[in-house]
Amino acid sequence: MAEDDEQVPLTGKLRDKLVESKQAWAREGRLLTGTHADPARDRLPPGQTLVKDWPVLDLGVQPEVTPDRWRLRVEGLVQAPVRLTLEEFMALPQEERVNDIHCVTQWSRYDNHWQGVPARDLVALARPKDEARFVSFTSYDGYTTNVPLEEFIRDEVLLAHSWEGAPLTRQHGGPVRVVLPRLYFWKSPKWVTRIELLRDDRPGFWEVRGYHNNGDPWLEERYG
């Protein structure tokens, strides 16, 4: 297993105006319809529009994470911290998933085919301590987000390296990204490098800027 993290170069710069406009959306409640839906009955969450392509969204910074430099750490309240290179990650048991994804910016895309390592398997490998209740993700571009541990270990959650039969592109978070399809897609960080198990919740980049801490699309939890 990898012992040290590799530093990676970044291209671009944080788009401050984009961040400010999205914070304004949160203050204004933009895109909210005020309705709820039942995922067992309604495939498309409230206020969403179906798309065929996969829009590229980021903060303006993209890390140049080559396969030989990518590292993943699973640490915090665990008994056996995990350090993986991409080669070691790819040697773990792989599974496939097909699911829909829903972005808080109002688009949804159906039937995405993913391949990767189930999150529950990675967590089991790290052997979480009894007091672990939350997960904090950190990406190579500095982005952070958070979910309850019980959300992260759901059967459908992957750390994905492939989409539609091909390796994830850099623009979409390759080499590896998190895929949490039950929540708005800002909860599925690109370029993930650190997964930390915590006793107490730690809101991430958008959560401290007015976005909902949970992010359930069918409850329209866009903002909090």
Q: Where are the domains of the chain?
A: 14-219
| pLDDT at position 14 over 90 | no
Total-model pTM = 0.94
Tell me which residue of 151, 51, 164 sits closest to 114, measured CA to CA. 164
Cβ-proximal residues to 70 (8 Å cutoff; 6+ apart), any chain? 6, 85, 86, 175, 176, 193
CB 150: neighbour CB atoms within 10 A? 10
Query: What CATH homologous superfamily does 14-219 map to?
Result: Oxidoreductase, molybdopterin-binding domain (3.90.420.10)
Cβ-proximal residues to 95 (8 Å cutoff; 6+ apart), any chain? 115, 116, 117, 118, 158
* pLDDT (tens digit per residue) in 79-133: 999 999 999 999 999 999 999 999 999 999 999 999 999 999 999 999 999 999 9
| pLDDT at position 3 over 50 | no
- 60: pLDDT confidence band, cut at 50, 70 and 90? confident
Between 34-43, 57-66, 82-91, 105-114, the lowest mean confidence (pLDDT) is in 57-66
Name the strand (E) or helix (H) holding 21: helix 16-28
Query: Using CA of residue 101, residue 146, residue 7, residue 5, what is the dihedral sign?
Result: negative
**Cβ(185)–Cβ(178) under 8 Å?**
no
Name the strand (E) or helix (H) holding 112: strand 107-118
- For 165, list phi and psi in degrees, rounded to 5: 80, 5
Position 58 scores a pLDDT of 80
